[in-house]
Structure 1
Amino acid sequence: MSVGRIVVIGVGNEFRHDDGVGWAVTARLAERTADRPLPPGTVVADCDGDPARLLGLWEGAALAVVVDAAHAEPPHPGRVHRLTLDGTGTARTATTSSHGLGLGDAVELSLVLDRLPRRLVVYAVEGADRSLGRGLSAPVAARVDALARAVEEDVRRSGPDGREVDHDHAAE
């Protein structure tokens, strides 16, 4: 059985402090998987959050995992929200992307154009600092390792259709 395409996308801008969390996670994921590669055909990419670029990256994917900075009221820097869409686009969250047009717009556009991945997992990390400059704030930086592990687990648990599979019990 062939495995569906998987894409991991770090969204952000590394020159706006915590907005670079998505890129920090993809970089850490690349370090983690240097000795233990992800499944064949898995693409790891960075994106500035432009909806058209996101669509291009995840179009035709069985699974897309996206990591992005988010803003919420009241803010809790470093808090992680995980959202899963099964291709219907019906889930919503109270957080918003740190970009003017962002992930929500890309999901809505994907629905209209029928280009949503079969399964979309979004990790939205509440940030503390979006000012110009490099480096993550302490509460956001403290989440990078755990996020890279979580993304790797999502990818490794993905079945050919993008759905989560318990590989320990798949043969039962």
Structure 2
Amino acid sequence: MRTRTRIAVIGVGNEFRRDDGVGWAVLARLRERAARRPLPPGTVLATCDGDPGRLIGLWEGAGLAVVVDAAHAHPGTPGRVHRLELDAGHLAQPPTTSSHGLGLGEAVELARALGVLPDHLVVYAVEGAESTLGTCLSPTVEAAVQPLVRAVESEIARHPQTTAGRPA
């Protein structure tokens, strides 16, 4: 079994559909942070529209993949964050749905069938309030962005390759 050291952080959504752009907003802040304090080598920051094929391509070969996406919950609490982990090959399903036609669950199942799941997958799903056209997040979702940035940084710091040294 080879050690995979690449880390993929993926912001999913549409930055022009208000709260659906939360993943993109988190990635923008992580990029700003990386300009001041570099992330571990092999860390890739990417945005995606949620297409399962593109998601799989972005996390393929990763030791750790962290995905940030908007979610719709019924009833919902805008700004509420759900943390999900791939456990024994199955992603726990939150009481939310993706804001995209095909969801993250379908991407996970397809990646499993193809044998290209990351070693560890963490998903942050943020309940949104607004999905109309526009580029500003609602205040409750905007308030979740900085804590999400810290949470993603923490996921990266806990990844074994960043804390236990890197293979040569």
- TM-score if structure 1 supplies the norm length? 0.89
Alignment of 1:56-67 (within 5 A): 56-67=57-68
Contact 2:4 / 2:61 at 8 angstroms: preserved in 1?
A: no
Tell me how far apart the structure 2 counterparts of residues 10 and 80 of structure 1 sit (CA, whole Å).
Answer: 14
Q: Structure 1: which 5+ residue stretches go unaligned?
A: none
Tell me how far apart the structure 2 counterparts of residues 108 and 5 of structure 1 sit (CA, whole Å).
Answer: 21
Contact 1:9 / 1:65 at 8 angstroms: preserved in 2?
A: yes
Q: 1:52 to 1:3 in 2, by over 3 A?
A: closer
Letter of the aligned partner of 2:99 in structure 1? S
Task: Report the equivalent of 2:92.
Answer: 91
Tell me how far apart the structure 1 counterparts of residues 159 and 97 of structure 2 sit (CA, whole Å).
Answer: 26
Q: Structure 2: which 5+ residue stretches go unaligned?
A: none
Q: CA shift at 1:108, angstroms?
A: 1.0
Tell me how far apart the structure 2 counterparts of residues 101 and 88 of structure 1 sit (CA, whole Å).
Answer: 19
Q: Deviations over 1:108-148 (max 9, x none)?
A: 11111111111000000000000111110000000101101
Kindly report structure 1 stretches of 4+ aligned residues shifted beyond 6 Å: none
Give the paired residue count: 163
Letter of the aligned partner of 1:75 in structure 2? G
Task: Report the equivalent of 1:8.
Answer: 9
Q: CA shift at 1:157, angstroms?
A: 1.2
3-state secondary structure, aligned to 1:8 = strand
Q: CA RMSD in A?
A: 1.7
Tell me how far apart the structure 2 counterparts of residues 32 and 87 of structure 1 sit (CA, whole Å).
Answer: 32
Alignment of 1:121-160 (within 5 A): 121-160=122-161
- TM-score if structure 2 supplies the norm length? 0.91
Q: CA shift at 1:33, angstroms?
A: 2.4
Letter of the aligned partner of 2:92 in structure 1? A
**Percent of residue pairs bearing the same amino acid type:** 67
Task: Report the equivalent of 1:33.
Answer: 34
Contact 1:52 / 1:106 at 8 angstroms: preserved in 2?
A: yes
Q: CA shift at 1:3, angstroms?
A: 6.4
